[in-house]
Amino acid sequence: MVRGEQDIGNEPVDRAIERIRNVYRSWNRETLVSQMRRDWDTAFSSCTVPLSCKHVSGSGVDAEWLIPEGAPADSAILYFHGGGFRVGSVVSHRDLAARIAHTSGCRALSINYRLAPEHRFPASLEDALAAYRWVLDQGYNPSDVAFAGDSAGGNLALTAMLSLRDRAIPLPASAALMSPWTDLTASGASYESRAALDPIHQRKMILALARDYLGDEGDPYDPLASPIFADLGGLPPLLIQVGDRETVLDDSTLLAERARSAGVDVELQIWDGMFHVFQMFAELAETRRAIDSLSDFLCKHLRIRTRRRPQ
């Protein structure tokens, strides 16, 4: 278990949290989902590293290649963005995916999967699987592909691998998960124990997003919706990063515990003083260390021998 330095009350962290709150404050019950998505994209649309971006359509799934200079042609990261299955896109998460690509020296394909409430479960999962099949159709070997994702994207990385396993389709080499949302029932004790510490997410909000994603008839205990309830045996090595201020902390700690019990190689990193998907904020020292560690993990399992060190 790796922990960062204690940063509650740290000014850079407080400023990062305020950026998120400023977006949330602009929303009310009358705000259209389309406006929420535009606001989220606008708030997080910058890109802080040099690389080339190439728009593609992978088996009908809108996507974007993020290619660092000198990236090997035979390795790829498939990236799934977060946003509670309601917001988020390749635009809002371009910087995060790009920094992972740049630091690892590996090209990344970030996808725009379908979002709720227009497209409920399992639409996003179907898009994740289609994108992976498309990557393999481009000539990549499964052992040269890694998954990465944050929050709801971490959920997709896991459920896509579970679906592939159950269909006897070769799995990627590894998966790196940032604050993965694995329990749509929000049953973890951290929803109570971290409620006063979490500056962003509370259980009521999490359950509303789950209902939005699943619909009235959806089952939050379905392992392809809540992978915390799945048989996790047979998955490739996992890296899980999570902040210790998160109400969804137990979504990570219980996942790690159950995956290890199923024989999966798991590294769990809990970062002191950090909030949900803090890796989106390039200005934080903890973010740079977290991305550095995540890139080391990906490079190890993709057998990439050289990679960039953060500035």
Active-site amino acid positions: 151, 246, 276
Q: What share of the chain is helix, strand, coil (3-state, %, to 5)?
A: 40, 15, 45
* Nearest CA among 258, 181, 200 for reference residue 19: 200
What tokens were used for 283? 């200005």
Task: Give whole-number Cα distances, 246 to 81, 105, 249, in Å.
Answer: 18, 30, 5
What tokens were used for 3? 């922990």
- DSSP element (H, E) containing 133: helix 123-137
Whether the CB-CB separation of 94 and 282 falls below 8 Å is answered with no
User: Token match 């929000």: residue?
Assistant: 186
* Nearest CA among 65, 239, 262, 69 for reference residue 162: 262
What burial letters (b/e) apply to 198-231, b meaning 16+ CB within 10 Å? bbbbebeebeebbbbbbeeebebebbbbbbbbbe
d(CA 47, CA 282): 10
d(CA 176, CA 269): 11
Q: Which residues of 125-235 form beta strands (DSSP E)?
A: 145-150, 174-178
Strands 76-80 and 61-67: unpaired
d(CA 259, CA 27): 37
